[in-house]
Amino acid sequence: MSRSQKKIDKINFEIFTLTYGEIVTTLLKDYEDVEEVNNQLDKMGYSMGIRMVDEFLAFTGLNKCSDFRDTADAIANKAFPLFLGFPAGIQNFDEKKKEFSLVLDQNPLIEFVELPPKYKGLFYCNILCGIIRGSLEMLQIDVEAKYKKCVLRGDERSEIFISLKQDPKKGDK
């Protein structure tokens, strides 16, 4: 049985988004502080990321990336479609500083969401940053992932900013 036979199970869209919504609302109730909720979401994403990366590797059978550009491509065009069902765009790729922005045009997680004014500081999908950070860390790539813009906060598009913390020669994916 080779990799090509592996299938990804699909989950009902509403169940997925409602479950995630419920997690965020529970966190908001428990912590009552938007910044802390952002942190918690990031932490949750991190623990998911370090587990999800094996699924990703087994499914795609990717080899080591030769440079950071490849890594960016793998995240945007392979990992996003695999787990969320849509590709992300790459913008402002900076070869020297080793940083880029992931642009999320579609995002099933925020389909039904509208942020009330008192939660304006919340990055609703901050879990994604944690996931990216966690999975790349398992591949010896230390990055910083941060939400820069979010549609829910009134920006024209959602953007996750990712920058590399170490020499990319050691990195792989």
Instruction: Point out which residues bind other proteins (CB under 8 A).
Output: 1-3, 6, 50-51, 53-55, 57-59, 61-64, 138-140, 172-173
What is the closest distance, in whole angstroms, from the C-beta atom of residue 37 to other proteins in the complex? 20
- Provide, rounded to whole angstroms, the least separation between the CB of residue 172 and other proteins: 6
CB of 71 to other proteins, least distance (A): 11
Is 51 or 97 the residue whose CB approaches other proteins more closely?
51
CB of 44 to other proteins, least distance (A): 11
Q: Which is nearer to other proteins, 122 or 141 (CB)?
A: 141
Region of residue 9 (left: phi > 0; alpha: psi -120 to 50; beta: else): beta
Handedness of CA 155, 149, 157, 16 (dihedral sign): negative
User: How far lies 94's CA from each of 1, 24, 68, 77, 99, in Å?
Assistant: 40, 33, 10, 18, 5
Of 5 and 12, which has the nearer Cβ to other proteins? 5
Question: Which tokens in the block code for residue 156?
Answer: 């024209």
| Nearest partner of 159 among 79, 91, 70, 75, judged by Cα | 91
Q: Specify the residue, 2 or 12, whose C-beta has the smaller distance to other proteins.
A: 2
Q: How many CB atoms lie within 10 A of CB 1?
A: 5
